[in-house]
Amino acid sequence: MTDFNQITHSDIDWIKLWQNARNRKGWASKGPAEWDKKSSSFASRNKTSPYIDLLMSHLPLEADMTVLDVGSGPGTLALPIAKKVRSVTALDFSPGMLAILQDSARENGQKNIRTVECAWEDDWDAKSILPHDIAIASRSMSVDNIAEAIKKLNAHSSKYVFITDRISPTPFDPLLFEALGRNFESGPDYIYTLNILYTMGIHPNVTILELERELRFDNIDQALQSYSWMIKDLTTSEEHTLKRYLENTSTQDEQGQLVIHRDPPPRWALIWWDCSNL
């Protein structure tokens, strides 16, 4: 039997606890093919998200800087950041996401964005990924090995590392899991990441980014598509339950859009540190 009266923070294996929580999470990590299918709708919904301005307001961007955007998706951050810096390298394992980013950059006349099809687990050096002034991992820390991911970010940044990590239950809806008769297991969120950073000798800054409480969709099918993304191995019966749940918990605004009130609202932890002295 463990004598907890003798345990201190240094006795805790936070990476092991992070892995335990990850193994119990009630949602499935998506692969490149699944993100390819979602790329168009994801890009459309995130193009005007308040998350962009919230995060951008904390980035120390300068005109002569280079920025590495890991898990860039369709350019949610890479595109606006590229307007303020010398160049951006956008990494993502989904070619569909990168194709949308490239199309958007061409439409905007932005020639300072380099896209690289690359995963966290790949050899970044073999992909010619050099150190940048700032490395960003925005809502893309669903990795198999978090300590190695942090080391890669440090190795590929000369000044700052910025990551945003989930604050449970974001981005999930525990009441939906309850309606489906499933236990809600969030998986590891930012509190694990903070403790892992501490054990690695990194003492970061933390800011909480809180998004809008109301989520809007054009119709029930669009909402169903978005919410079904949360559920692992959704059955046909559960899909019907999900649709009823959304119909019963949503309202309609004056423009005819479906409105879902989220409580608590989505919250993300912006975690950043100066890596120049590490």
Q: Could you give the percent of the chain with pLDDT greater than 70?
A: 91
Q: Residue range 139-168: average pLDDT?
A: 95
Dist. CA 45–CA 48, nearest whole Å: 7
What is the mean pLDDT of the segment spanning 135-154? 95
CA distance linking residue 95 with residue 74, whole number of Å: 10
Q: Is the pLDDT of residue 141 over 60?
A: yes
Per-residue pLDDT, 60: 97
Confidence (pLDDT) at 42? 57
pLDDT for residue 68: 98
Catalogue the E-assigned strands of 7-131. Answer: 66-70, 87-92, 113-117
Residue 30: predicted pLDDT: 66
Please give the structure tokens belonging to residue 220. 């029930």
| pLDDT at res. 268 | 97
**What average pLDDT score do residues 182-207 get?**
95
Residue of higher predicted confidence among 11 and 208: 208
Q: What is the pLDDT of residue 195?
A: 97
**Residue 25: what pLDDT?**
84
- pTM for this structure? 0.89
- Least confident residue range of 88-92, 115-119, 257-261: 257-261
Give the CA-trace dihedral at 223, 226, 232, 233, to 10 degrees.
60
Please say whether the beta carbons of 81 and 88 come within 8 A.
yes
pLDDT higher than threshold 90 for residue 29 = no
The predicted model gives 59-68 an average pLDDT of: 98
pLDDT of residue 38: 57
For residue range 211-237, list pLDDT tens digits in order: 988 888 999 998 998 888 878 788 999
pLDDT top residue among 157 and 7: 157
Q: Span 34-43, mean pLDDT?
A: 57
The more confidently predicted of residues 78 and 24 is: 78
Strand, helix or coil at 267? strand
Q: How confident is the model at residue 17 (pLDDT cuts 50, 70, 90)?
A: very high
Average pLDDT over residues 254-261: 90
- Label residue 49 by pLDDT band (50, 70, 90): confident
Domains and CATH numbers, the chain: 10-213+265-274 (3.40.50.150), 214-261 (no CATH)
What pLDDT score does 19 carry?
94
2 pLDDT higher than 80? no
Which one has a higher pLDDT value, 135 or 27? 135
The secondary element (H helix, E strand) that includes residue 111 is none
**Quick one: pLDDT band at residue 37, thresholds 50, 70, 90?**
low
Rg of the chain over CA atoms, in angstroms?
A: 20
Nearest to 146 by CA among 173, 171, 182, 121: 121
